[in-house]
A and B are shown apart, each in its own frame.
Chain A
């Protein structure tokens, strides 16, 4: 298998792990980990696709991945803050649909 195939395979496995974790785990922290793993799978794919096929690598995917990482970090920070707030207000860090119909 060539190196590109290896990267794509790694990305696919990571993405699968992420999807599995997102669906199966109940704790929000684990769900966030799962989403970050999915994100990393996509970043690997983007970098691999821009790899040194011939000559210099293409700078655009690298720039995209850098921006993507910045966005992933800020989105994760925001999600963590939201999770902490949810824990402070309700005492749990999971999503139960118990009181979906509360008065808004």
Chain B
């Protein structure tokens, strides 16, 4: 039952993508619905199984490793899976009107969208290093295809730059995988820890893989490709890029670090990763403060918020795990909402240059509301999901008397407040300025409603944190202390 459900979670969207390429006509809308909508229901069986047994192993089609494909579902991957299913389905509400399935752009968009969805599901389920490589490559190629789907020069250029860096990053990762296999004779992520002792070769291999993944997850100072790619992509694509695509590679770093290299003495390297995160928070926030386009501000905010996910490495306690995982969840919801709202404002006004947006709160009240609610969660005001995450970070730093990280988390919130209030200030505080009616374009209400649902979920995440947090603490890596 669980096995079938998991297989469908990956293969249903994939088959739908194939069908969408084969029958791009008027059936496309239904194909997309079949590929997406049953997924939340299919998730129920694996969820119950994880709550019951904690970890599920699955050899695909009965072929065990090394030559077969093995899947593994534990609480952390379950969380990622739910996040991907939930966010993708909600963003699809928006994409359903901004990329109508019966239009030309829709026919280019939906197959890639379904492939991206399926490959992210496969990635979080994969248990071996090489499958992670294949699925990550699929995620990257589908994501870049989506960035370039409208063929705008700026988006094409940003996609191309992303692609070149991503291909180099995959090669670094693959080289690391080869070296690890040479050392251990296994590719199973959860077995390599027993097989290798830290020496210069395994450390080099691990470092190559992690640097490759850091490029893909745009962690400072390897972030240069992100703002242009996320800021120039179409709205739903920006949303999924910031909410999920960069997160899956950080998820892989967590897996390599805490599961693959379990038992290594990584204190110095962990502090280095934390410092990268700190630099990302400060630099990303300051850069967001000086951008003059709304989508670029939101994109630089992603650079900053990814920094928090790096704080898990130096803190590395139960609390830090809960904090980082919850941050991943609430940031995903909030950032998806903000990008969708920004895209609605952009397509309604025709530009997202900040100085032209004064008064847009009167024309697009729902979008500005969604933007503000997402912002509340990003800067960690109670009672949002972002607040829970930031609070847990503070608590984790407090317990370890890591005052530097504590100050950083607090200061990061202030910096986020600076760039978000700048946006809201320009939009809402204006001397009764009217937007030019002539340039105003109507867009369907559903587009705004999708952004609002995501924003409200980001806030609601602050109220329903208990079950998620206990789920996370059930799936801690070996050797993590409370």
Q: Which residues of A contact B (CB under 8 A)?
A: 22, 28, 31, 35, 38-39, 42, 45-46, 49, 58-61, 63-64, 67-68, 71, 74-75, 78-79, 82-83, 85-86, 89-90, 95-96, 99-104
Complex CA gap A60/B159 in Å reads 33
Task: List residues of B (127-165) whose CB comes within 8 Å of A's CBs.
Answer: 130, 134, 137, 141, 144-145, 148, 151-161, 163-164
Docked-complex contact B163 and A79, CB < 8 angstroms: yes
Docked-complex contact A85 and B156, CB < 8 angstroms: yes
Complex CA gap A22/B161 in Å reads 12
List 28 A-B pairs, Cβ < 8 Å: A28-B164, A35-B168, A46-B181, A49-B181, A49-B182, A63-B67, A71-B134, A71-B137, A75-B163, A78-B141, A79-B160, A79-B163, A82-B160, A82-B163, A89-B156, A90-B153, A90-B156, A100-B154, A100-B157, A100-B158, A101-B293, A102-B154, A103-B293, A103-B346, A103-B353, A104-B152, A104-B154, A104-B231
- Give min CB distance, A70 to chain B, whole Å: 9
Docked-complex contact B154 and A22, CB < 8 angstroms: no
Complex CA gap A99/B170 in Å reads 28
Complex CA gap A63/B151 in Å reads 36
Complex CA gap A28/B157 in Å reads 11
Closest to A45 in B: B178
Complex CA gap A89/B144 in Å reads 17
**B170 — which chain A residues lie within 8 A by C-beta?**
71, 75
CB < 8 Å neighbour of A103 from B148, B187, B352: B352
**B145 — which chain A residues lie within 8 A by C-beta?**
78
- Give min CB distance, B135 to chain A, whole Å: 11
**B215 — which chain A residues lie within 8 A by C-beta?**
none
- Given the interface pairs A60-B187, A82-B156, the reply to whether A104 lies near B346 with Cβ below 8 Å is yes
**A60 — which chain B residues lie within 8 A by C-beta?**
66-67, 181, 187
**B459 — which chain A residues lie within 8 A by C-beta?**
none
- Give min CB distance, B236 to chain A, whole Å: 13
CB < 8 Å neighbour of B167 from A64, A75, A99: A75
Interface size class of B (residues with CB under 8 A): 35 or more
**B47 — which chain A residues lie within 8 A by C-beta?**
none
- Given the interface pairs A45-B175, A64-B130, the reply to whether A75 lies near B346 with Cβ below 8 Å is no
Docked-complex contact B295 and A104, CB < 8 angstroms: yes
- Give min CB distance, B94 to chain A, whole Å: 16
CB < 8 Å neighbour of A99 from B148, B154, B168: B154
- Give min CB distance, A4 to chain B, whole Å: 11
Q: Which residues of B contact A (CB under 8 A)?
A: 66-67, 130, 134, 137, 141, 144-145, 148, 151-161, 163-164, 167-168, 170-171, 174-175, 177-178, 181-182, 185, 187, 228, 231-233, 292-293, 295-296, 346, 351-353
Closest to B161 in A: A95
Q: Please count the residue pairs between chain A and chain B whose beta carbons lie under 8 angstroms apart in the complex.
A: 110
- Give min CB distance, B436 to chain A, whole Å: 16
**B233 — which chain A residues lie within 8 A by C-beta?**
104
Docked-complex contact B164 and A86, CB < 8 angstroms: no
- Give min CB distance, A34 to chain B, whole Å: 9
Docked-complex contact B164 and A89, CB < 8 angstroms: no
- Give min CB distance, B227 to chain A, whole Å: 9
Closest 10 interchain pairs by CB? Answer: A102-B154, A104-B232, A46-B178, A49-B182, A86-B156, A90-B153, A89-B153, A42-B175, A35-B167, A60-B66
Docked-complex contact B168 and A102, CB < 8 angstroms: no
Complex CA gap A52/B408 in Å reads 53
Closest to A19 in B: B168
Complex CA gap A71/B119 in Å reads 14
Docked-complex contact A61 and B153, CB < 8 angstroms: no
Docked-complex contact A42 and B171, CB < 8 angstroms: yes
- Give min CB distance, B120 to chain A, whole Å: 17
**A75 — which chain B residues lie within 8 A by C-beta?**
137, 141, 163, 167, 170
**A78 — which chain B residues lie within 8 A by C-beta?**
141, 144-145, 163
- Give min CB distance, B482 to chain A, whole Å: 39
**B295 — which chain A residues lie within 8 A by C-beta?**
104
Closest to B166 in A: A75
Docked-complex contact B153 and A102, CB < 8 angstroms: yes
**B156 — which chain A residues lie within 8 A by C-beta?**
82, 85-86, 89-90
Closest to B234 in A: A104
